[in-house]
């Protein structure tokens, strides 16, 4: 009996020990961010802090006759030395008890820039508007064979699939206006477009009344799609009775036509909220991480606080057509995922209502364009920065605008400690490379030190906190050094933990690199 009990205790001991040790995460030489907690084992006196982008100047005013106050759903990406921007062009006229959407058809328009800051609307000469082709209309709504296309819900991207056909280097996802689905368009030059799909894709699998998108994911070597659904009710071409919450569904494909593995997005610690868009894409500096900028929609109803918000008369006018048109508010959020299914969604607003422009307290404002791009800093000698773009002054007149916002590179979220020393310990990691670099910022009195530990948490000789001189300053690519230098090649390929000590400091990302 005693022998049997001893064997059982030994088995339990081995089982507990095995389960207590997390499997090492292979990070290779990837850049790792703190936008979610996958790599973190523990934190003391340290928090993950969300950083809000800084508002800059207005870059586009939608004031052309074929544009209007309802313009939006912007897609932006860098294409070599050129930045490309696509967007819905739409006019919404608000009258007592009515919103008129029929001033002109829905179009997809195009703008471009050499720096991501100064934009122009080129005369494409492709599609006629009131007898003239002198405009920047890239795609129109209408019939294309047996397809009925709504060009007002565009999501445009450069296809990173290395096997993409020459005449389909660029893709656009448009809404079908005849069937409940999406239509894929292709282009060899980002200007001239034609249907890729002969039938709508994903038919009957969602509501699609938003900006629905797709892209090539190099991690799984497939296309991913993300689109609008409602969690209850019926939304098809015969019956439109949505209920529940506006939410997001995803699927994968080898060819953008045939889709499998449908999945409704899950969140680690977020309440049920209406998400109007998703804006998901691999972050180009760390493409194994998908970052999204969903738009939170919340109807606050009428109250004294609602009446104190800007543009009350216009708000009342819109509310006379439908109450929510006057009492709903939209703002941008941040979320991130490594598997494309489960996301860390930051419940604090990333681009809050009224942040970049004080009148931005309306339904349709603060929609973040799909996706970020890298632009030069206006300060000579400073590193490049991230540019984001968001809509403002939606459906209050004859035009609305697109404003640029900026963040430091990787600057969405930081591991932050204040005046009291904090620590962050990672799970066991397996890296490639010969040196460790960090993207960080400290105060003059603050600092960071990093210790390398074995898988079981023991200090590796020569890489202790005491061996690491305090790192301070503001740098996107500082090499970490210890008393014996920066070389960590002898530790590559074996599990290590990082013990990071911070004081009045922000750590945005880290990366092992070198041979």
pLDDT of residue 239: 87
232 is a domain residue: yes
Give the number of residues written for the chain. 515
Q: Is there a single domain that holds both residue 150 and residue 242?
A: yes
d(CA 55, CA 406): 7
8 is a domain residue: no
Q: Is there a single domain that holds both residue 427 and residue 325?
A: no
Q: Are 74 and 85 in contact (CB under 8 A)?
A: yes
pLDDT of residue 13: 39
pLDDT of residue 459: 98
Q: Is there a single domain that holds both residue 403 and residue 419?
A: no
Residue 457 backbone class (left: φ over 0; alpha: ψ -120 to 50; beta: rest): left
Task: State both tokens at 159.
Answer: 């296809």
Residue after which a domain boundary falls, among 371, 389, 410: 410
Residue after which a domain boundary falls, among 360, 385, 410: 410
Q: Are 394 and 402 in contact (CB under 8 A)?
A: no
14 is a domain residue: no
11 is a domain residue: no
Nearby residues of 1 by Cβ (< 8 Å), 6 or more positions away: none
Which has the closest alpha carbon to 327: 310, 315, 343?
A: 315
d(CA 388, CA 391): 11
pLDDT of residue 14: 38
16 is a domain residue: no
Q: Are 138 and 166 in contact (CB under 8 A)?
A: no
Q: Is there a single domain that holds both residue 426 and residue 502?
A: yes
Q: Is there a single domain that holds both residue 200 and residue 287?
A: yes
The model's pTM: 0.93
Q: Is there a single domain that holds both residue 286 and residue 404?
A: yes
Residue after which a domain boundary falls, among 386, 410, 434: 410
219 is a domain residue: yes
Task: State both tokens at 391.
Answer: 């809509």
Range of the domain at 199: 54-410
Q: Is there a single domain that holds both residue 293 and residue 335?
A: yes
Give the CATH number for residue 480.
2.60.120.260
pLDDT of residue 493: 96
CA distances from 76 to 23, 28, 85, 260, 387 (A): 38, 30, 4, 27, 10
Note down pLDDT in tens along the chain; length 515 residues: 444 434 444 444 333 333 456 799 999 999 999 999 999 999 999 999 999 999 999 999 999 999 999 999 999 999 999 999 999 999 998 889 988 888 899 999 999 999 999 999 999 999 999 999 999 999 999 999 889 999 999 999 999 999 999 999 999 999 998 778 999 999 999 999 999 988 999 999 999 999 999 999 999 999 999 999 999 999 888 888 999 999 999 999 999 999 999 999 999 999 999 999 999 999 999 999 999 999 999 999 999 999 999 999 999 999 999 999 999 999 999 999 999 999 999 999 999 999 999 999 999 999 999 999 999 999 999 999 999 999 999 988 889 999 999 999 999 999 999 999 999 999 999 999 999 999 999 999 999 999 999 999 999 999 999 999 999 999 999 999 999 999 999 999 999 999 999 999 999 999 999 97
Q: Is there a single domain that holds both residue 133 and residue 231?
A: yes
pLDDT of residue 20: 58
Sign of the torsion formed by the C-alpha atoms of 330, 331, 337 and 342: negative
pLDDT of residue 385: 98
Helix, coil or strand: residue 482: strand
Q: Is there a single domain that holds both residue 172 and residue 86?
A: yes
Q: Is there a single domain that holds both residue 33 and residue 162?
A: no
pLDDT of residue 94: 87
Give the CATH number for residue 298.
2.115.10.20
Q: Is there a single domain that holds both residue 378 and residue 446?
A: no
Q: Is there a single domain that holds both residue 84 and residue 145?
A: yes
pLDDT of residue 178: 76
* Number of domains composing the chain: 2
114 is a domain residue: yes
Residue 46 backbone class (left: φ over 0; alpha: ψ -120 to 50; beta: rest): beta
Which has the closest alpha carbon to 328: 386, 374, 367, 376?
A: 367
Q: Are 133 and 127 in contact (CB under 8 A)?
A: yes
pLDDT of residue 442: 98
139 is a domain residue: yes
């Amino acid at each position: 009996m005693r022998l049997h009990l001893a064997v059982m205790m030994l088995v339990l001991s081995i089982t507990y020990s095995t389960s207590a040790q997390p499997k090492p995460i292979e990070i290779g030489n990837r850049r790792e961010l703190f936008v979610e907690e996958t790599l973190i084992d523990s934190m003391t006196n340290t928090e993950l802090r969300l950083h809000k982008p800084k508002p800059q100047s207005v870059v586009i005013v939608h004031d052309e006759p074929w544009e209007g106050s309802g313009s939006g759903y912007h897609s932006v990406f860098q294409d070599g030395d050129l930045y490309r921007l696509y967007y819905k062009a739409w006019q919404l006229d608000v009258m007592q008890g009515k919103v008129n959407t029929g001033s002109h058809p829905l179009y997809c328009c195009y703008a471009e820039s050499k720096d991501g800051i100064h934009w122009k609307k080129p005369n494409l000469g492709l599609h006629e508007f009131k007898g003239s082709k002198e405009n920047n209309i890239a795609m129109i709504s209408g019939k294309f064979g047996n397809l009925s296309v709504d060009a007002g819900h565009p999501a445009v991207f450069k296809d990173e699939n290395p096997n993409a056909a020459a005449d389909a280097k660029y893709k656009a996802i448009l809404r079908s206006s005849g069937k409940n689905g999406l239509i894929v368009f292709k282009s060899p030059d980002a200007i001239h477009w034609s249907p890729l799909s002969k039938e709508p894709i994903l038919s009957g699998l969602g509501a699609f009344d938003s900006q629905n998108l797709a892209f090539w994911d190099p991690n799984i070597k497939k296309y991913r799609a993300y689109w609008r659904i409602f969690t209850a009710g019926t939304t098809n071409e015969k019956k439109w009775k949505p209920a529940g919450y506006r939410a997001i569904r995803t699927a994968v494909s080898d060819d953008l036509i045939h889709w499998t593995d449908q999945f409704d997005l899950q969140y680690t610690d977020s309440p049920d909220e209406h998400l109007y868009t998703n804006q998901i894409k691999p972050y180009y500096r760390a493409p194994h991480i998908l970052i999204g900028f969903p738009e939170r929609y919340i109807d606050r109803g009428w109250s004294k606080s609602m009446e104190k918000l800007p543009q009350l008369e216009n708000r009342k006018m819109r509310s006379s057509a439908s109450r929510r048109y006057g009492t709903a508010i939209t703002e941008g959020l941040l979320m991130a995922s490594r598997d494309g299914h489960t996301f860390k969604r930051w419940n604090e607003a990333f681009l809050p209502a009224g942040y970049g422009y004080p009148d931005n307290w309306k339904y349709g404002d603060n929609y973040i364009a799909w996706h970020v791009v890298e632009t030069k800093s206006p300060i000579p000698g400073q590193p490049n920065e991230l540019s984001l773009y968001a809509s403002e002054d939606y459906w209050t007149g004859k035009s609305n605008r697109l404003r640029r916002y900026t963040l430091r590179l990787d600057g969405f979220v930081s591991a932050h400690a204040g005046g009291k020393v904090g620590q962050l310990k990672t799970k066991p990691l397996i890296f490639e490379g010969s040196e460790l670099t960090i993207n960080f910022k400290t105060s003059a009195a603050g600092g960071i030190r990093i210790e390398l530990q074995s898988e079981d948490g023991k200090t590796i000789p020569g890489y202790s906190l005491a061996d690491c001189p305090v790192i301070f300053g503001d740098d996107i690519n500082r090499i970490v050094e210890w008393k014996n230098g920066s070389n960590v090649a002898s530790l590559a390929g074996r599990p290590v933990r990082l013990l990071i000590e911070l004081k009045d400091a922000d750590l945005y990302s880290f990366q092992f690199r070198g041979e």
